[in-house]
C-alpha cells in the first residue's frame, strides 16, 4: 500500500516500530492485568510529566471582592492577547479590529465618573416607578451622575433573558422571591455582579408581615447577599381612602396620596457611592473585558476547529486503511494508537499546545485505555457490526469492522481533543498545562454525542464505501487523505 505521509512517526509502515512500546501492554488488554497496566502507564506518565492537575475550583456564590484598577488593566491585557491571537489566525476577518475598538473604548472609560445602574426584575414589580423617584431625587445631584436603565421584564417569556450588566444592579421584587428570581440573583452574584435586592411595594403588607417577609428574604439570600444589600421600599405606594367624621355627624371621604418610602435605599446608595463607586466601575471593566475575551476565544475556536476537522478526517481514514490491511486484533489498536499519537501532536500544534513524542503517546494511550474502560470499544464494535450486516453496501471482508472501528475511535479521540482544547483557558497551552483528567471527562461527553445510531449509520456508510475493494482500498484512502 502507498500511504504517502510526511509524518515522522508514521514513516516505515503505520508507526509499527514507534508504537512497539505499547504492544505488550495492549496484547493483554482483554485481561484485567492489561487494563490495570494501561492505566498504570498513563498514571506513571502523568506523575513525572509536566502537567499540573488543576485543583478543583471552589465555586462559592459569594459577592466577589471589589475590583481594583490593576485587576481591570490585567483583564484588558488578557483580552487583548486573545484578540491578537485571533488576528494572527483569522487574517481576513474584521472581527479582531472590531473587538480591539471595543477594548479601546473600555480602556478609555476606566476612570469614568458616572455610574450605570440597571434596574431589573419581573413584570410590574415597580421598576419604572423606582427609576422615576430615584431620578427625581438624584437628577440635580452631581457628581457622580447616575444613569438608570430598565431591562425588559424578566421571566415574562421563554426567551433567554438578556444579559444583565451595569455597574450596579437593582433587582426589584414585590414580595418574597420566587425560585426563578432566586436563580437569577444567584447567577448575577456569582458572576461578580454587584446587586441590591429591592423589595418594593412594602405598603401592601401590614407592619407585622413586613418584618417577616424581610427576614425571609435575608434567610433566602444568605451567603449570596448581605442583609445590608436587601432593602425594603415603597416606590409608589397606593393612595388610601381616609374617612373623617365631621362635627355635624357626617362622614367625609378623601383620597390621600402616600409618599414613597425610600430612605433605606437612598441611605444604602449614598454609602455605596462613597465607598465603592470607583471599584464598581473597575469591576464592570473586568466583566466587560472578560466578555470581549470570550468573543475572541469563540471566534478563535471556530477557526481552529475548521483547521482541525480535515486533519481528523485524514487520520481516521489512515487508521481504517491500516487496520483493514492488518486485521490482527492487537495490531488494530496498536496502529490506531500510533496514528492517534500523531493526531495529538498535530491538533496540539493548532491549539498551541506543544507535545513531545512521549507526551503525545501518553495522551493517546490514555484515550485508548479510557475507551476500553468506558466500554466504548465493545459497544461501538457491536453497533458497527450490526450496522454493517444490515447495510446495503455491506462489505463482508474480515477487517471491515475493525477498520471502521479504528476510524471511529480516531474520530472520537480527535473530537475529544478539540473539545478539550476549546474549553481551556487560552494561555494554559502556552504554560504547558494539560489535564488528562479533564480530557477523560471530555471523552465521555463526546462519545455520548456521537453515539447516535443515525450518525454511526452514515459514518459506517462513508468509511465502508472508502474501504470497499471496487475503489481499491488503501489507494482510495491515500488519494482522499492528500
Ligand atoms: N402598592 C404599590 N404599588 C406600586 C409601588 N410601586 C409601583 N407600584 C405599582 O405597580 C405597577 C407597576 O409599576 P411599574 O413601575 O410600571 O412596574 P414595572 O413593570 O416593573 O416597570 C404600577 O401600577 C405602579 O403604580 C409601590 O411601592 N406600592
Ligand atoms: Mg416598566
Range of 148's domain?
A: 112-288
Q: Which of 119, 120, 122, 129 to mutate to test the pocket of ligand 1 (most atoms within 8 A of CB)?
A: 129
Q: Are 267 and 334 in the same domain?
A: no
Higher pLDDT: 344 or 379? It is: 344
pLDDT tens column, 333-342: 666 678 889 9
Distance 261 CA to ligand 1 centre (A): 13
136 lines ligand 1 (CB under 6 A): no
Task: State the ligand closest to the CA atom of 120.
Answer: 1
Mean pLDDT of the chain: 80
Helix axes 400-423, 436-449, angle to 10 degrees: 120
Q: Give me the residue label for grid cell 477523560.
A: 440
pLDDT tens column, 385-407: 888 877 655 555 567 888 888 88
Q: Are 267 and 354 in the same domain?
A: no
Number of domains in the chain: 2
460 lines ligand 1 (CB under 6 A): no
Q: Are 276 and 363 in the same domain?
A: no
Residue 59 forms part of a structural domain: no
pTM value is 0.74
Task: Take atom 5 of ligand 1 and give the residue whose Cα is closest.
Answer: 236
Distance 192 CA to ligand 1 centre (A): 28
171 lines ligand 1 (CB under 6 A): no
Distance 252 CA to ligand 2 centre (A): 35
203 lines ligand 1 (CB under 6 A): yes
pLDDT tens column, 89-119: 998 899 999 999 999 999 999 989 899 999 9
Answer with the one of 288, 313, 348 that is the final residue of a domain: 288
Residue 131 forms part of a structural domain: yes
Residue 35 forms part of a structural domain: yes
Task: State the ligand closest to the CA atom of 156.
Answer: 1
CA atoms within 13 A on the CB side of 50: 14
* Residue 261 reports pLDDT greater than 50: yes
Residue 477 forms part of a structural domain: yes
Amino acid at each position: 500500500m502507498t500511504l504517502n505521509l510526511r509524518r515522522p512517526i508514521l514513516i516505515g509502515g503505520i508507526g509499527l516500530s514507534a508504537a512497539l512500546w505499547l504492544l505488550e501492554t495492549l496484547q493483554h488488554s482483554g485481561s484485567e492485568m492489561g487494563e490495570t497496566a494501561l492505566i498504570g502507564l498513563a498514571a506513571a506518565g502523568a506523575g513525572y510529566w509536566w502537567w499540573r492537575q488543576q485543583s478543583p475550583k471552589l465555586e462559592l456564590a459569594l459577592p466577589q471582592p471589589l475590583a481594583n484598577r490593576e485587576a481591570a488593566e490585567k483583564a484588558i491585557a488578557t483580552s487583548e492577547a486573545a484578540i491578537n491571537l485571533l488576528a494572527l489566525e483569522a487574517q481576513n476577518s474584521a472581527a479582531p479590529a472590531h473587538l480591539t475598538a471595543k477594548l479601546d473604548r473600555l480602556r478609555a472609560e476606566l476612570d469614568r465618573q458616572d455610574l450605570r445602574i440597571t434596574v431589573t426584575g419581573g413584570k410590574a414589580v415597580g421598576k419604572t416607578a423606582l427609576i422615576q423617584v430615584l431620578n427625581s431625587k438624584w437628577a440635580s445631584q452631581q457628581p457622580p451622575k447616575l444613569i438608570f436603565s430598565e431591562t425588559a421584564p424578566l421571566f415574562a417569556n421563554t426567551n433567554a433573558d438578556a444579559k444583565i450588566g451595569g455597574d450596579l444592579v437593582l433587582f426589584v421584587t414585590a414580595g418574597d422571591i420566587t425560585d426563578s428570581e432566586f436563580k437569577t440573583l444567584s447567577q448575577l452574584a456569582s458572576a461578580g455582579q454587584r446587586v441590591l435586592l429591592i423589595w418594593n411595594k412594602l405598603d401592601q403588607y401590614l407592619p407585622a408581615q413586613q418584618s417577616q417577609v424581610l427576614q425571609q428574604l435575608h434567610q433566602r439570600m444568605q451567603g449570596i447577599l448581605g442583609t445590608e444589600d436587601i432593602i425594603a421600599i415603597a416606590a409608589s405606594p397606593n393612595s388610601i381612602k381616609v374617612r373623617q367624621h365631621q362635627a355635624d355627624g357626617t362622614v367625609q371621604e378623601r383620597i390621600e396620596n402616600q409618599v414613597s418610602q425610600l430612605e433605606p435605599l437612598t441611605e444604602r446608595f449614598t454609602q455605596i457611592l462613597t465607598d465603592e463607586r470607583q471599584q464598581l466601575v473597575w469591576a464592570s471593566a473586568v466583566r466587560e473585558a472578560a466578555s470581549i475575551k470570550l468573543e475572541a476565544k469563540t471566534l478563535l475556536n471556530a477557526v481552529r476547529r475548521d483547521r482541525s476537522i480535515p486533519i481528523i478526517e485524514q487520520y481516521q481514514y489512515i487508521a481504517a486503511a491500516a487496520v483493514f490491511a492488518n486485521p490482527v486484533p492487537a495490531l488494530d489498536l496498536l496502529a490506531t494508537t500510533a496514528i492517534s499519537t500523531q493526531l495529538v501532536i498535530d491538533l496540539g500544534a493548532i491549539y498551541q499546545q506543544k507535545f513531545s513524542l512521549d507526551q503525545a503517546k501518553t495522551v493517546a494511550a490514555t484515550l485508548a485505555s479510557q475507551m476500553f474502560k468506558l466500554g466504548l470499544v465493545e459497544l461501538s464494535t457491536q453497533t458497527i457490526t450490526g450496522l454493517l450486516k444490515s447495510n446495503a453496501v455491506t462489505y463482508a471482508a474480515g477487517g471491515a469492522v475493525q477498520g471502521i472501528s479504528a476510524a471511529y475511535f480516531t474520530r472520537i479521540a480527535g473530537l475529544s481533543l478539540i473539545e478539550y482544547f476549546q474549553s481551556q483557558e487560552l494561555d494554559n497551552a502556552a504554560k504547558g498545562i494539560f489535564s488528562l483528567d479533564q480530557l477523560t471527562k471530555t471523552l465521555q461527553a463526546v462519545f455520548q454525542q456521537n453515539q447516535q445510531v443515525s450518525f454511526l449509520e452514515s459514518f459506517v456508510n462513508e468509511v465502508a464505501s472508502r474501504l470497499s475493494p471496487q475503489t481499491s482500498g488503501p489507494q482510495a484512502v491515500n488519494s482522499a487523505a492528500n
